[in-house]
Amino acid sequence: MTDHTAEAAEWGHVLAGRADAFGDVFDRHRDRVFRHACRLVDTREDAEDVLAVAFLELWRLRKRVRVVDGSVLPWLVATTTNVALNHRRGVRRYQRFLSKLPHAGVTEDAADRSLQTVEIDVDPQLLDEIRRLSAVDQRLVALVAFEGFRLWEAAAALGMSVDAARSRWQRIRRRLADRATASPAIDLAGGT
């Protein structure tokens, strides 16, 4: 039984409402989804929150999840990107709110000093450039460059035509080409 065949069988059990099968799907994809979340948010704790919400959405929307080549991973990666984008918007709103509050006598919180970010092998400037892409383009980069899906798989996961995905991918490659050469963790040559 191939890996995709095994996952397709597990997913059939998930659709039947079996929580243990969902646990197997979680175990199968947890690490890749977590690594992807780490690329998109600033702290390990935030990445854990994003991971949890992405899998919660997988369970909640299981009857509508788009399965690509027998796997829910493309859907999970795209959903993780959406959750991370929402998280970052929430953090920005919260920071704007905090900046309006009086700051007299505020001391540093010990919890803030102890937060550790996850180490990833991507140039921070490249990540900033990726974060400036549209949400759809960020999902495409996540699926193709970071997670190694083929362009047609990413297109299927995102609900777009292969031609549209190819066009977006070429534009993204041109935009990120200079920065990507310094980051071994991102493969802009992929996607075929």
Which whole-number Å values give the CA distances from 135 to 59, 119, 157, in the listed order? Answer: 23, 23, 14
Q: Over the chain, what is the mean pLDDT?
A: 82
Give me the CATH code for the 121-192 domain, please: 1.10.10.10
Higher pLDDT, 179 or 54: 54
Q: Does the structural domain 1-102+114-119 have CATH classification 1.10.1740.10?
A: yes
Angstrom distance (rounded) from CA 23 to CA 19: 6
Which whole-number Å values give the CA distances from 161 to 124, 152, 166, 168, in the listed order? Answer: 31, 8, 9, 11
Higher pLDDT, 104 or 164: 164
- Residue 107 DSSP SS3: coil
Contacts of 74 (CB under 8 A, 6+ apart): 66, 68, 143, 147, 149, 153, 154, 156, 157
Same CATH fold, 121-192 and 1-102+114-119?
Answer: no
Contacts of 62 (CB under 8 A, 6+ apart): 14, 15, 22
- Residue 68 DSSP SS3: strand
Angstrom distance (rounded) from CA 72 to CA 137: 19
Question: Is residue 59 predicted with pLDDT exceeding 80?
Answer: yes
pLDDT at 118: 42
pLDDT tens-digit map of 80-122: 999 999 999 888 888 887 777 776 655 554 444 433 444 456 6
Q: Which residue has the tokens 């929580």?
A: 19
pLDDT at 77: 94
Quick check: 173 and 164 in contact, CB under 8 A?
no
Higher pLDDT, 185 or 157: 157
Question: Is residue 188 predicted with pLDDT exceeding 70?
Answer: no
pLDDT at 181: 60
Higher pLDDT, 153 or 55: 55
Looking at residue 71, what DSSP letter applies?
Answer: B
pLDDT tens-digit map of 117-151: 444 566 777 888 888 888 889 888 888 888 888 88
Quick check: 191 and 128 in contact, CB under 8 A?
no
Helices (H), 115-150: 124-131, 135-141
pLDDT tens-digit map of 6-49: 888 889 999 998 889 999 999 999 999 999 999 999 899 999 99
Quick check: 59 and 15 in contact, CB under 8 A?
no
Quickly state the pLDDT bin for 50 (edges 50, 70, 90).
Answer: very high
Residue extents of the structural domains in the chain: 1-102+114-119, 121-192
